[in-house]
Structure 1
Amino acid sequence: MKFNRAFFPLRLKFIILLCLLITVPFLISGIITYRQYTKNVEEDSVSYTNRIIDQITINLERYIKDMDRLTMAPYYDNAVLGIMKAHETAAASGNYVSSEQLAKMNLMISSLAVDRSEIQSILIFAYDGTLFSNLENSVSKSWEPQGNAWMREVEETDGALVVLAPHPGTYYLDRQRQVVSLARVIRESFTNRHLGIIKVDLTEDGLGKILAGSSPNSLLYLTDRHDRLLYPLDNGTSAPARPAPGPAQDKSYIVASKRSDYTGIQVTGLIQRADIKQGARSLTQFTLWISIASILVAYIAAGIASGKLVRPIRHLQMKMKRVQKGDFAERAKVTTSDEIGQLTEGFNIMVSEIDRLVKEVYEGKIRQRDAELDALQSQINPHFIYNTLESINSLAMDRHQDEISDIAVNLGRLLRYTVERKERFVFLRDEISFVEAYSQIQASRLGNQLQVEIDVELGHDYLMVPKLILQPFIENAIEHAMTSERLTVRLMTRIEDDRLVIRVQDDGAGMSRETMERVEKHIYTSPREQVDRRRFGEKKKGYALRNVHWRLFLLYGEGCGLFIDKSVRNGSAFILRLPLLYEEESEA
């Protein structure tokens, strides 16, 4: 069983193929490039952040060592140690500080704070409640144990430098501040007795300067060995919130961290993946716009290229359809020098050869038939037939048999028209006369059951027509349209669109739709496609009208031939179309 496949134009296939070849590799390469670029940026960002954290850790270690030396300064100043011993315990009369003591302490503390912008204040806490500081106007002169719980942690280290997590500075007069501090216990050299505590409060800006050099897209956090946040400080400002440390870190961040063995401080850097991908997205968007423009240009070029490629094939296809309909005069134009051009040249050669063979076969058959007719004519002496018919006519007239006389006269006219006249083209009036003679003979044979009405317009008599193209319609009507009623055949002519139109219509049995379709198929089937299955000596039937059509088509080309008028309801009607030819034109 044969299935009809959906038709897809060749140009559409070329366009789809080219678009796929352009788009698919672009999408694949774009996705791979974007992912690889993002991965490389992440790796570079992590590597860069690790280097920055390493440098910050080194800077912090250096700074802590510097603070370690700074907080050791009281040990080298005997005057300061003496003052601390004097204020070791609280006196009953209160904490009295002489001007000399205050001057010495302020001198020492101020010398430590010189050119230290990161230091907010340097404070020395005496155990009698006295507080010495380089900030005379913003720091209290005394302190209370209940507001300074951090002292317990400092005293437990027994003189080692301690990094204190953010805690409230209750000794500031203007407001309570959250401070990060470095502190140690001041001890007596020989007895190791605790004399007080020296404490350095750092500013957040100062810490920021120490951390300077980090990536602008990263967040830095400092935590001590107990995982307490040292930076950023929470002073009620809009400081960034600290994410959860360790493996539970949000996947939207890339984490890099390092803990100092010397200070125990861990530096953690967090980079938002969205910030990293933003650059990749910007590059991708820029590349995407350029790629879209390039793809559009490529699509347009593909459409133009496919059109140029398919146009010769479409041209060849159109010519092949015309040849398929029997027009062997068609030739395809060769426009390319590639395989399509070679195919077109081969097509032209093939059609020329087919046209030559068809003409040879057709003309050979015509010559064969003419030879057979000439042979037949040569076997019969026309004058003998004419004399015989004249004798029959005279005998019928003597006996007053007018009907027999008419038959003999009409038969003579038929013989003279078919045997003696060798012309291929005759006047329309001569063809009409032949039809009248043939009709009268048939009417006599059928007992006046046949009536032929001829209506030829004035001026059409001398138009040239092929010989013997009307008689087959009278014969066809007698053969197929005759009923018990009288059959009337009307033959009319008219001029339409510079063509002679001859209409032959009868009021006989008519044709059903199925019969009409079968007759049309038989008439319009090319002679070379029709297989002659007659047995030897068998009379050929049903070919008269078909021969008339193909004679006109082969003589005059497209638009000429035999056509069936399907609008007739009673009987049948046939239309002949042929060009207007006069005697001079037909001879030419």
Structure 2
Amino acid sequence: MFFSLRNRLIAVFVVLLVISFCVMFLISYNKSSAILRSDSETAALEKMTAYTALINSTIGQIYDFSSVIYNSEITNEWSEFVSDPNPSDGQKMLKNIQLSKFLTRTVNNYSIIATASIYRKDGLYVGLDNRILQDPSFLEADWYTRFYESEQHWAPAGVDPFEPVRLKQHEVISFLIPIGTFSISQATAVMKVNVRAEYFKDPLSQVHLGTHGTIFLLSGEGEPLLGQPLSDFGEPVLNKLGEIRERGPREGVFYAKPQGEDMIYVYKKLQFNDWMLVGAVSEKELLANLINLKSGILVATGTLLVFAVLAAVWISYSITKPLGGLVAAMRLVQRGEFAQAEQRIPERLQVNHEVGFVTVTFRNMIVRLRAHLKSEFELKLRRQQAEYRALLMQINPHFLFNTLELLSSLVIQRRTDDAVDVIESLGKMLRFSLNAKSDLIPLRDEVTYTESFAAILNHRFAEQLDLTMENAVPDRPVYIVKFILQPLVENAVKYSQVKSDVAVVRIRIWEEEQRLFLQVADNGMGMEPELVRQLNEEYQHSQLEQVLSTGGRQIGLRNILARCALYYGAGFEFSIQSAPGEGTTITLSLPIGEGNADV
């Protein structure tokens, strides 16, 4: 009886449907679990985002208040006056009272600020409402020692014993900032700004993750700011959070088993500082309702299976020979041969049955799919080109902010000439960055841009930076790809400062055997051999799409290597000499070109 196509189709349909429904049940259950998990995680992230906006607003007011006090002439005059041994104690007391009144007036303008006090290393305390004490006991306080030893600007929630009695009933989170200087090690006084912990705790209680999930607010050092214990996290989870804090995305989800139970962790970084919100919930708790529905899904699936088998028996009677041509066309589509698949199906086919209708519809789908793929490819190419040019035009925002802070410091110090030099250098860099007419520029322009960048760094870091350039630029016009030297110098300075007190960076440019060599060497932390191997493999396999899809990330070494490979092809060579703790030397070898046509 199985020689009949109809009977064979019925048997096959029944077997396939049974297997399909079993698989569908498993997939549906797993998919439902994933959707529920995803929806819960998304909802938590959305609530975290709203909470983050509130925290950012609070932190913004704290920074604004601190900036007013820090940049005030009253504060600067007080710092210099009390440090001068010549004035009498009475005169110094008047200055202390003047500063206390100024603090009181300023705090009254900021509803978020509970108190603000200034502590000097000689044991002097200046608080609100003319509270002036000579009590060196605060020198042993945990927040004070952490600030000077570890440069921790935030102290977790706790009662401040140095504030008035009415505030000792409330926990506060404190922000610390040096007075009179940007350098903590050189500061003789520190301002402590207290904000009631309720401003952080009450909104956080509205953010839920599951029924019993917990949300933690962690500082940049991974410590809970609101006093919540992290004992259940375990060492692997804390290490994972540390990695995310250093180089992870702004928000996301990861899974772990700290106590042998599957746990879901949702995190989100704050904008203004390196704080992080972390939510923890048991996966079993999150999927409890779905597990209760499992038996109901089994019953419903079994019922649907019976009806599906009956429907399959009926549908099998309507299947005919045109399926062969349709199957052949599908196989060609599966291999990506759309043109041949379109030729397999006649353009004009009489539609007088279901299979004929499916065949015509499938042919129309092939035509539309080909047009869609072509349109999608062109759209993606244009989008990548736009992102690529936007990436070239950007200046690292941290560098721009640091430069503006440098200008502010120079102006405050009345170093007009230095401020003018920095402004001129920054102007040259901006003018160069905004010029997007061509991706190829004269080598001298790239060198001038790098020199302007180096000039700003020398003003900013002074003795902490030893940067020299050995420039043997050819006299004739030489064109290179834009933005390949300065990012190397920026990375060299950045990673050298992490390892050493003095960042030593050497730049060499020379010509040899009709090739141009650009070399940047530093005394930084070096690179792991695995990373060097990965960079070489990416270049050898021309994995340029990974760089072109990076969006707004900073222009880094991968971007430089990818763009040079894109423009110079086999004529581009590079070498990386590096070892952990021993610095890095990166050398780019480019074919000499005297115009756009040579590249």
Q: TM-score, normalised by structure 2?
A: 0.35
Query: Which structure's residues are more often helix, by fraction?
Result: 2
Larger radius of gyration: 1
Q: TM-score, normalised by structure 1?
A: 0.36
